[in-house]
Amino acid sequence: MSDIQLWTLVFIFLSFTVYIGIAWRSRVKETAGFYVAGQGIPTVANGAAVAADWMSAASFISMAGLIAFLGYDGAIYLMGWTGGYVLLALLLAPYLRKWGKFTVPEFVGDRYSELVRTIAAGAAILISFTYVVGQMRGGGIVFSRFLNLPVAGGVGVAAAIIFTYAVLGGMKGITWTQVAQYTVLITAYLIPAAAISQTFTDFPIPQITFGQVLDELNALSIEFGLNSYTQPFTERPQLDIFLVTLALMLGTAGLPHVIIRFYTTKSVRGARYSAFWALLFIALLYTTAPAVGAFAKFNILEGLGGTAVEELPEWVGNWEATGLVTIDPEAETIGSISNNPAAGADITVDNDILVLANPEIAGLPAPVVGLVAAGGMAAAMSTAAGLLLVISSSASHDFYFRRIKKGHATEREKLLVGRLAMAGAVVIAVAGGINPPAFVAQVVAFAFGLAASSFFPIIVLGIFWKRCNAKGAAAGMVSGLTFTAVYMIWSLYVSPGSTVFGISPEGIGAIGALVNFAVAISVSKATPAPPAQLMEFIEEMRYPATSRRITPPSDDKAPETELGGA
């Protein structure tokens, strides 16, 4: 066993002992605790949990590598996956917290109608599911790479562990476990990044220092047949960059597993600050990623370019064994580098290995490599667990409890159905993770388009426009979804590669959201307004407290009154 494998085992074993220990200590018996942790999670902890929930294997393992090869255009992920939190904090989180229900379908069910609830529950399950498959795969790959298991075995081990602590602890267990996972993943991300920044520039804050290599990186990129690093719009046209960024932002704000988190805070105020902490914690990784991407690319171009094939550094051989780095058998010295196997470059480096291989590339010691592997696992596990919880709550609460039993079910029954739904989801996700459908990457983009074009518009309208009614919401959701799905299917399968105005399938969700808004508004205007009682509920959602103080808050003896003074 190599040093790297030994350290990987040590770190993964230690971190998993902690996760399972936490889940065991906080195991729950009532449904409320299972789904929303009894609304007793401190704000900072909730923020860290949101961050861990949100940052998946894609953020941790793939993003920096993608940026390294996309250059400027990688900003779609950086801005798209952070800017959504501003929308979430300002437009959604505090109001949904005040409304005080368990899930997104629950909110739209109360606000609009049972039909809208059912559509939303179906969409929530579909969106969460497409994600969970990717996470299982990510976790499985880390296990198989570092523990020498076949991928199927890796996926199985990952699934068993996630299932154990999600079922045991429910939301509360998951929340505290995710706080631990955030700590592991951010440490694992920042340590190698700081070390590399220190080596390059004698200063350990990569966010500040990576500007120093950009000039040389541009020159090197052009020399090896790549686009200039900081040059915008080399991979996608400007309009598409705009729309993809917008779609990712709207999708982020509409994703059910992120929104559900804001129900676990203690108060409306807590929901606002949770969003702040969440984005702060996410930003730590998201501002480091472009620096990691730039340094890694610089290292690769400078270290490999012009080198004779037999003199390549050791890490190339290590990763060549996984098939993620390939060298053209006819090449003698490296004259071109690409991430695209079709480009026929002398050496092809897969995006996904950059973060995992970075410590090796930079010559950092084996424990750091092991720590990074544990961080990748933490990222995959935490997101998968959060998604499983959404699937189980949508299935047991919104379908079973509301639709089938019409509200008549005991606590024990609900918990049991929730756990069964989770078990079912794990089994299907394992099958999906072992034999991923060829279109996994596209399905993930589809999930964002779905969330952007379905949930975001009708939730925002539901809060900010009292006049929006059930017919409008149902019509808006269905038309936004259909428009987005039809364009994606057309552009991906019916006539592959064709687009309108260069809008990619990833970006079409932004237009789908506009369609949803337009249809929901027109249909609502053409049909009767919601009942007056509902209007009053919406009104009350806008004010944090349940009752209003008439005199200033410094006076503890202040009389109180129902909102509105009536």
The site for another protein (CB under 8 A) is made up of 67, 72, 74-75, 78-79, 82-83, 85-86, 89-91, 94, 207-208, 210-215, 230, 232, 238, 241-242, 245-246, 266-270, 272-273, 275-276, 279-280, 283, 286-287, 290, 539, 542-553, 556-566
By beta-carbon proximity to another protein, the closer residue of 10 and 563 is 563
The number of residues making up the chain comes to 566
Take residue 408 and report the two structure tokens written for it: 């008549």
Name the 3-class secondary structure at 324.
coil
- Give min distance, CB of 268 to another protein, in A: 6
By beta-carbon proximity to another protein, the closer residue of 141 and 185 is 185
By beta-carbon proximity to another protein, the closer residue of 365 and 564 is 564
The C-alpha atoms of residue 105 and residue 91 are separated, in whole angstroms, by 17
By beta-carbon proximity to another protein, the closer residue of 82 and 392 is 82
By beta-carbon proximity to another protein, the closer residue of 30 and 539 is 539
The span from the first CA to the last CA of the chain, in angstroms, equals 74
By beta-carbon proximity to another protein, the closer residue of 53 and 73 is 73
Side-chain half-sphere exposure of 117, counting CA atoms within 13 A? 20
- Give min distance, CB of 80 to another protein, in A: 9
* Alpha-carbon torsion, ordered 365, 371, 372, 378, to 10 deg: 180
- Give min distance, CB of 295 to another protein, in A: 13
Residues with Cβ within 8 Å of residue 185, at least 6 apart in sequence: 52, 55, 60, 285, 375, 376, 378, 379, 382
Residues with Cβ within 8 Å of residue 489, at least 6 apart in sequence: none
Nearest Cα to Cα of residue 32 among 267, 264, 257: 264
- Give min distance, CB of 501 to another protein, in A: 16
- Give min distance, CB of 391 to another protein, in A: 28
| Residue 537: C-alpha distances to residues 99, 111, 260, 472, 530 (Å) | 8, 9, 20, 18, 11
By beta-carbon proximity to another protein, the closer residue of 8 and 197 is 197
By beta-carbon proximity to another protein, the closer residue of 291 and 387 is 291
Take residue 348 and report the two structure tokens written for it: 């092809």
Q: Cβ atoms within 10 A of the Cβ of 324, count?
A: 17
By beta-carbon proximity to another protein, the closer residue of 207 and 338 is 207
- Give min distance, CB of 185 to another protein, in A: 18
Q: Tell me 351's DSSP state.
A: T
Residue 224, φ and ψ in degrees, nearest 5: -100, 25
Residue 293, φ and ψ in degrees, nearest 5: -60, -45
- Give min distance, CB of 45 to another protein, in A: 14
- Give min distance, CB of 541 to another protein, in A: 11
Edge-to-edge strands, sheet with 337-338: 325-327, 347-349, 337-338
Identify residue 4 by its one-letter amino acid code: I
Let me know: does 369 contact 359? Beta carbons within 8 Å: yes
Take residue 534 and report the two structure tokens written for it: 């509902």
- Give min distance, CB of 246 to another protein, in A: 8
- Give min distance, CB of 195 to another protein, in A: 20
By beta-carbon proximity to another protein, the closer residue of 207 and 322 is 207
In Å, the largest CA–CA distance within the chain is 85
